[in-house]
Amino acid sequence: MKIFEELDRRGHEQVAYCRDANTGLRAIVAIHNTVLGPAIGGARMWTYQSEEEALTDALRLSRGMTYKAAVAGLNLGGGKAVIIGDPKRDKTEPLLRAYGRFVQGLAGRYITAEDVGTTVQDMEVVRMETDFVTGISRSLGGSGDPSPVTALGLFEGMQACAKRMWGKDTLEGVTIAIQGVGHVGYHLCQHLHREGAQVKISDIDEDNLRKAADAFGASVVGVDEIYSTECDIFAPCALGAVLDDHTIPKLGCSIVAGSANNQLADEQRHAEMLAKRGILYAPDYVINAGGLINVANEFDGYDRERAVQQAAGIYDILGEVFAIADREGVTTVQAANTMAERRIAAMSKLTRTFVGATRQRRGRGIS
Ligand code: NAD
C-alpha cells in the first residue's frame, strides 16, 4: 500500500505505528480529522490476518468517527486505534500500559476508548499511563460501558426508520433480526423485548447467543441464514463490511439499522444497491453515535441523564438525514456525509479565520 496516497485519498492527517518489543504490542493509531476537536475513537483488538488489513480497518474506522462526531453535533474529530492480537490470549497489563504510553505521546491529538476486544477495565489500565482516555468506569467518575447508551440510540433510530417507512414509530409486532448479541446487541434485545417486537438473533459465540435467547425468548438463526431470514429490520451488531454484493441480494428486510461500524463494504455502491432494492438504510455512524455521545459527556462531568437525553436525539438527527436525502435526491449515506461535511467545512473556515487573526495579532505584537 502506498500510504501517503492512501492518506490523501481518505483525507487522513496522521497514522502512528506503535511497537513495543517487550510486551509484543503492535498497534496502529489513525487520526482522520481534528477540525472540530481532538480525534476520539475506540481501541479495537483483533486477530488481523495482515498488517494491511489492520491499517485498512484503522483508516476506515477513524474516518467514520470524524463523520459520527460531526453529525452528532460534538466538538470532536475522528480517530481509531487497532491493536493486532487475540484479546483472549495476548491482552496483558504490560501490553495495555505500553499502548497507554503511546497514546500519551500523541499529546491529546488522539483520545482512546474501548471497542471490540477491549473493555472498560482495560481502559482503566491504559489510564495508568495516559490522560487521554475515556470510557472509564462509573466508580472512577467515568461514563462506564457505552453499549447501553449505544443500544438506546439505536433503538430510537430504529423508530425513526419505522416512522419514515411505515408512518408510525412503534416497533410493536415488528420483526428484527440481530447479527451479533454482544454488548450492544444484548441491550438492544432488551429494548425490543419490552416494546413487544419479535426478535431473531445470530452469533458465533454460543454463550452470548444462549444468554440473549434465554433472557428475551429470541429465536436463534444460523450465522449464514441471518441475511435471508424474513424480517422487517436487519440489525448488524457484530463487525463491519457485512453488506456486500453477496449479502445485499439475500436480504429479507425493509430496513437495515444496526450498531456495527462501516457496515457497507463499498460505501457508495452498496448504499445505492440497498436503495434500488427499496431497503431503507440508517447510516451506521449516525445510528450508533450513542456510545460516542456517552463518552463525550465525560468531558463536562459525566451525567447519565444528559447522555441518555442526547442519545435519544438520534431520532431527530436521522429524520434530518432522511429529509436531506429526499430534498437532494441522494442516498441516506450521501445525505449523512453531506451533513457532516457541511459542519466541518463551516468550522474549518472559522478555525482558519481564528488562526489567521491570532497570527495577525502576533505579527503586530499585540499578543
Ligand atoms: P461485542 O464484541 O460485545 O459484540 C459483538 C458480537 O458479535 C459478539 O457476541 C461476537 O461473538 C459477535 N460476532 C462476531 N462475528 C460474528 C458473525 N460473523 N456473526 C454473528 N455474530 C458475530 O461488540 P459490541 O460492543 O456489542 O459492538 C458491536 C458492534 O457495534 C461493533 O461493530 C462495534 O464497533 C459497534 N459499536 C459499538 C459501540 C458500543 O457502545 N459498544 C458503539 C458504536 C459502535
| DSSP state at residue 133 | B
Distance 184 CA to ligand 1 centre (A): 7
Closest CA to 77 of 146, 123, 12, 4: 12
Distance 285 CA to ligand 1 centre (A): 14
| Ligand 1 close to Cβ of residue 182 (< 6 A) | yes
Residue 40 contacts residue 79 (beta carbons within 8 Å): yes
User: Starting from the edge strand earliest in sequence, which strands make up the sheet with 255-256, in order?
Assistant: 219-220, 198-202, 175-179, 233-236, 255-256, 280-281
| Ligand 1 close to Cβ of residue 180 (< 6 A) | yes
Distance 139 CA to ligand 1 centre (A): 25
Give, using CA atoms, the residue closest to atom 41 of ligand 1.
Answer: 147
Q: What is the pLDDT of residue 239?
A: 87
| Ligand 1 close to Cβ of residue 259 (< 6 A) | yes
- The DSSP string of 216-229 is H-PEE--TTTTTTS
| Ligand 1 close to Cβ of residue 238 (< 6 A) | yes
Q: Ligand 1, closest atom to CA 151?
A: 40
Helix axes 183-195, 147-166, angle to 10 degrees: 50
Distance 125 CA to ligand 1 centre (A): 22
Q: What is the pLDDT of residue 1?
A: 73
Enumerate domains of the chain plus CATH numbers.
3-66+75-133 (3.40.50.10860), 147-339 (3.40.50.720)
Distance 355 CA to ligand 1 centre (A): 41
Residue 194 contacts residue 155 (beta carbons within 8 Å): no
Q: What is the pLDDT of residue 366?
A: 29
| Ligand 1 close to Cβ of residue 203 (< 6 A) | yes
pLDDT tens for the chain, 367 residues long, are 789 999 999 999 999 999 999 999 999 999 999 999 999 999 999 999 999 999 999 998 999 899 999 999 999 999 999 999 999 999 999 999 999 999 999 999 999 998 889 998 999 999 999 999 998 999 988 998 889 999 999 999 999 999 999 999 999 999 999 999 999 999 999 999 999 999 999 999 999 999 999 999 999 999 999 999 999 999 999 988 999 999 999 999 999 999 998 899 999 999 999 999 999 999 999 999 999 999 999 988 899 999 999 999 999 999 999 999 999 999 999 999 999 999 999 998 766 554 444 443 333 322 2
| DSSP state at residue 243 | B
| Ligand 1 close to Cβ of residue 118 (< 6 A) | no
Phi-psi region of 330 (alpha: psi -120 to 50; beta: other; left: phi over 0): beta
Q: What is the pLDDT of residue 249?
A: 98
Residue 114 forms beta bridges with which residues? 43
Looking at the whole model, is its pTM more than 0.85? yes
Q: Ligand 1, closest atom to CA 146?
A: 40
Q: What is the pLDDT of residue 300?
A: 82
| DSSP state at residue 30 | E
